[in-house]
Amino acid sequence: MIAPTTFQLGTFGIAVAGLLLSIRGAWRDYRRDKTRIRVVPKIAYPLGPIADARPRLAFEIVNDSLFPITVDEVGFLFRGTKTRGAIPVPITASGVAWPNRLEPLSSVTVYSTPEYLLEPTIRKVRCAYVSTANGRAFRGTSAALREVVDTGTVPPCPRERSPTSMPGFLNIDRFLR
């Protein structure tokens, strides 16, 4: 058996480095062109002078892609079934249209009506989902959603509600015990 020369070892090293760099480039291209959305369900507590002071569900939708994506449906998936619990017209901040076009690396938070936390079906929720205009669906869950599903009740707001503060929501995605 003939031992490889230094030249042959150098050539082999350069070939391996080229192969690894080409694999890395292909992986980066794949990741850059992939649609990525994060869905974080939260419990939203109204703060300030808001007419309906009951808590509601909030969905933080984050576009981690490098291109714009149109989100047109938000809701829940239920355990043991393929049924979707879509929220027909989620409440958005003023000036935000629904369906919403999310720009690259941006986010939007939409809210349900308070009745969605009171339904008996909340105990059957598996996760939250978001559907895009081209039919792709993305799922997400959080510790706050799991606690509401497991207990069937919404924990009290961790902050005092002030009637003189600016109206808005305190969005919680996990509760401290």
Does the structure show a pLDDT above 60 at 177?
Answer: no
Does the structure show a pLDDT above 70 at 165?
Answer: no
pLDDT in tens, 57-70: 889 999 998 889 99
Average pLDDT on 138-158 reads: 84
User: What does the alpha-carbon distance between residue 84 and residue 99 come to, in Å, rounded to a whole number?
Assistant: 18
More confident residue, 62 or 157: 62
- For the chain, the average pLDDT equals 84
pTM for the predicted model, two decimal places: 0.77
* Cis amide bond preceding 99, omega within 30: yes
Average pLDDT on 45-52 reads: 77
- Could you tell me how far CA 123 lies from the centroid of its own chain? 20
Per-domain residue ranges of the chain: 1-33, 35-172
